[in-house]
Amino acid sequence: MRRQAIWYPTIFPDKCDGCAGFDTPRCLSFCPHKVYGILNDKVVVINPQNCIYGCIACERVCPRKAIAFPMRTADRQVTRKDKGLLKRVKCKECGKVFCTNEETDLCFDCRKSLNLK
């Protein structure tokens, strides 16, 4: 069985303004899986276990860019579902084009030969 990475959104409280100017918080009304809820008058992630692995749909509806997902904040196992999140990078050492979801401009072989992780 494929190992599933932990996957749910994080709201940055310094960016979130609760969707001031909108009738309802957009993330709250958008997500059909009831991941978001209201606690002490603030939108929070109340059901992280309901989030669908690989989904980042609500990130796009946030007018304040206050929502982030694990790929930007932590390493995780690369699986078939991640393919859409991979990017093509040209290795600055050998020029080989490779795919990665990490912030690196060195391919695996060059990192290994340079004794980098």
Binding site for ligand SF4 (CB under 6 A): 9, 11, 16-19, 25-27, 31, 33, 35, 43, 51-52, 55-58, 62-64, 66-67
Is the Cβ–Cβ distance between 71 and 101 less than 8 Å? Answer: yes
Least Cβ distance, residue 77 to ligand SF4 (angstroms): 18
Q: Is 83 left (phi over 0), alpha (psi -120 to 50) or beta?
A: alpha
Give 16 or 110: the residue with its C-beta nearer to ligand SF4: 16
- C-alpha to C-alpha distance for 46 and 55, rounded to whole angstroms: 17
| Cα–Cα distance, 2 to 4 (Å, whole number) | 6
Whichever of 8 and 104 has its CB closer to ligand SF4, that residue is 8
Name the minimum Å distance from CB 55 to ligand SF4: 3
Measured from the Cβ of residue 17, the count of other Cβ atoms closer than 10 Å reads 14
CB of 67 to ligand SF4, least distance (A): 5
